[in-house]
Amino acid sequence: MIGFLKKLIDVNQKSEAENSEEEIEKYEPLEPSLENKIFNLRKKFNQSSDLVVQKFKIDDTEVAIVNMDGLIDKKSLAISVINPIRRYGSIKIKDAVKKYQFIKNNILSYADQVEISDYKNFVAFVTSGSAMLLIDGCSKVLAIGIQGYNFRGIAEPVNEVMQHESKEGFTEPLRINATMIRRRIRNTRLKFESMSIGSITKTDLYLCYLVGSCSENLVKKIKERLKKINIEGIIAAGYLSEFLEENQNISLFSSVGTSERPDTVCAKILEGKVAILIDGTPTVLLVPYLFTEFFQTLDDYTTKPYFASLNRWLKYLAFFIATLLPGIYVATCTFNPELLPNQLINKIAISTATTPFSLVFETFIIHLVYEIMREAGLRLPKPLGHAISIVGGLVIGQTAVSSGLIGGPTLFVVALTALSSYVIPNLYEPIAVLKLVFILVGGFLGTWAIMILFSVVLVDICSKENFGVPYASPISPFGWFGMRDVFIRSGWKTLSKKQTKLENLPGSKI
């Protein structure tokens, strides 16, 4: 056993050393020779067929335009780069460097131009959709931003449907998402900071926050944690969220929020939070995120306060029902049936007597079957999605009850639990795990065990913090000022008097 652990430690140390060597990229300057540059580029890209090299001559000087196929707008390349150079005619400058400067300053009128002189930046720009102008005899290369790849249009997010708000949702390109935020917050205090994460993918991301409203210490901590991330690539927002959480392997609840709506993200930025926009995904991360924010939606702030407060109470009630109802049902019927009315316990006893399984096993299996159906409905193509609901209604609803495999009261509890769990979709993952745990605990240990376990869950929520911000604030630690937007939603005349900063929350350490 000790030998195995030593080998495991050696393997981890070797992999960390290899990763650190890969991260330290040497500075490789570009050569003046055009043929050498093209040869080295093809070698770096392993002779990839999507690296396009287009050569032509200006007088006696060889010129090449290098780009990645499918990442540029070919029409813009022809109109803004190739045609102006060819229409200009002869350039009576023999020195290649001076000829390069003349083309850059006098012929090419395209605004998005960057001068680079090393292979690292060359690869970064060409893989981002820039066209690279190379001139034989000049070690400098001109990167021209004419990105033209196809992307999904702006549409309403499917996962965050609102009644009275904007129908715009984030899309995959990073700059378009940043533009949607900038269009809503027209203030010089709104700041975007760019970073790149992933030793292979080099995924671009923006840190977006409002200077003055967001704590500088919070931004500093987020940057430090992002810089420590050692991963080959970021393909989805969930890759980053685990690195941004503290004790992410212990707690079931996440302290990193997500959103696909620009209006929701702007509201969180105004509250002093940091939004992390990732290239290639429409999901934006919000840091830090409080537990009470799972029960808040943008619709709450566009309706009357009394109706928004009613919705808040319904969401909290749905959370307790989805988490505790199956476990309390099993524990009460098994250990404390005297707590139920006589008519109800008689019906439950009759239905249980006609089924071949115990109440614990029956409830647990039905929840597992429901989770299987839900997963199948998510993964199947849309034309087949209706078949899942039909099969579920026939198999579980009618056939299972009529055949005596499942009791009617148990099926009602499962259905109510499923409906309640969808009231708070962002908390579905911890709810799905907790309800199964509570069923087993309640069925084998009783009601008091459920109360003890639920107390452990509450302690976990109240003790959790991220970047120095208490996760359960302003409930724990308690703050009167923050309670105006927790269980009830005060009117805008009250909410607009003073903006709440994260560092002003009770117990905040940022």
Q: Model confidence over 289-333: pLDDT tens digits?
A: 999 999 998 888 888 999 999 999 999 999 999 999 999 999 999
> Which pair of structure tokens corresponds to residue 286?
């919000």
Spans of all domains in the chain: 34-145, 174-299, 305-463
DSSP character at residue 351 = H
Kindly tell me if the per-residue pLDDT of 463 is higher than 60: yes
Selected residue with higher pLDDT from 503 and 108: 108
pTM above 0.75, yes or no: yes
- Coil, strand or helix at 236: coil
Query: Could you tell me where the beta strands, DSSP code E, fall in 69-103?
Result: none
Which H or E run includes 207?
strand 203-210
Q: What are the two backbone dihedrals, phi and then psi, of residue 193, each rounded to the nearest 5 degrees?
A: -115, 125
| pLDDT digits 0-9 by tens, 474-504 | 888 887 777 888 888 888 877 776 655 676 6
Beta carbons within 8 Å of 340's beta carbon, 6+ residues apart: 332, 333, 348
Q: Give the span between the Cα atoms of 125 and 71, in whole angstroms.
A: 11
Is 92's pLDDT higher than 50?
yes
For residue 381, the tally of other CB atoms under 10 A from its CB is 6
- What pLDDT is stored for residue 3 in this prediction? 43
What is the C-alpha separation between 32 and 68, in angstroms, rounded?
Answer: 22
Cβ-based neighbours of 35, under 8 Å, separated by 6 or more: 136
Model pLDDT for residues 250-294, shown as the tens digit of each residue: 788 988 999 999 999 999 999 899 999 999 899 999 999 999 999
Span of 156-165, 206-215, 418-427 with lowest mean pLDDT: 156-165
Cβ(181)–Cβ(269) below 8 Å: yes
3-state DSSP assignment of residue 211: strand
**Does residue 152 carry a pLDDT above 60?**
yes
Comparing 87 with 217, the larger pLDDT belongs to: 217
Assign 229 to helix, strand or coil.
coil
What is residue 227's three-state secondary structure?
helix
The reply to whether omega before 326 is within 30° of 0 (cis) is: no
Query: Model confidence over 412-449: pLDDT tens digits?
Result: 898 899 899 999 989 999 999 999 999 999 999 999 99
Tokens 């193509």 correspond to what residue?
381
Q: 441: which 2 tokens?
A: 């605990």
Residue 375 has pLDDT above 90, yes or no: no
Q: What whole-number distance in Å separates Cα of residue 262 and Cα of residue 279?
A: 15
Type and span of the H or E element at 478: none
The answer to whether residues 462 and 476 touch, using CB atoms and an 8 Å cutoff, is yes
**Looking at 113-117, 349-353, 391-395, 419-423, which range is the least confident one?**
391-395
User: What is the average pLDDT value for the chain, to the nearest integer?
Assistant: 84
Helix (H, G, I), strand (E, B) or coil at 5: helix
Q: Is the dihedral of CA 268, 246, 418, 453 positive or negative?
A: negative
pLDDT-based confidence at residue 385 (cuts at 50, 70, 90): low
**Amino acid identity, position 250:** I
